[in-house]
Amino acid sequence: MASLTVGFDLDMTLIDSRPGIHACYQALAARTGTYIDADLAITRLGPPLVEELANWFPAEEVPAVAALYREMYAAIGIEATPAMPGAREAIAAVRAAGGRAVVVTAKYEPNAELHIAHLGMEPDAVIGDLWAEAKAGALREHGAGVYVGDHVGDVRGARAAGAYSVAVTTGPCDERELREAGADVVLADLTAFPEWLAAHTRR
């Protein structure tokens, strides 16, 4: 598959963003004086930041608070966030198959790039600020025939792009939810991805 391009989601697919996001929400609560249940917030990662902030702040305050969060996140969230098991190997498997790996995420793009650099991952492109079906445009632009993610929103993005949907159960959605959303295959985590990709490219 000389033209193989695989897209990857970031949060809870390539990185375990829970520690960094938890710490940042706690710092944001202290900074703003507004209660945020960080333990709850990290159980529903995937959708854009503004959707979570709307649970804690009045609608008119959300844009400014989101900007503050993103500024704080660069200093608080990056170093606290590890790679998911198999993440580097998954990107390496795409390269070994002669393909390109692109990251398409709802995360603020500059912070997504900081995560990638900090963890030494080397995708061919990082595209941020896209959620669910909105990811389809970037996936089509880069010619991604496969998209890997942990959320039903990622499955919807893959299907909207006409890409093969590979889902992992490392995020907030279980296998049943992912399959019902239309995932073509569901893996426990990215450690199973190289073997799956090898079989997929032999078809």
pLDDT of the residue at 203: 81
pTM for the model stands at 0.96
Which parts of the chain register pLDDT below 50? 1
HEC string of the chain equals: CCCCEEEECCECCCECCHHHHHHHHHHHHHHHCCCCCHHHHCCCCCCCHHHHHCCCCCHHHHHHHHHHHHHHHHHHCCCCCCECCCHHHHHHHHHHCCCEEEEECCCCHHHHHHHHHHCCCCCCEEECCCCHHHHHHHHHHCCCCEEEECCHHHHHHHHHHCCEEEEECCCCCCHHHHHHHCCCEEECCHHHHHHHHHHHHCC
For 58-84, what is each residue's pLDDT tens digit? 999 999 999 999 999 999 999 999 999
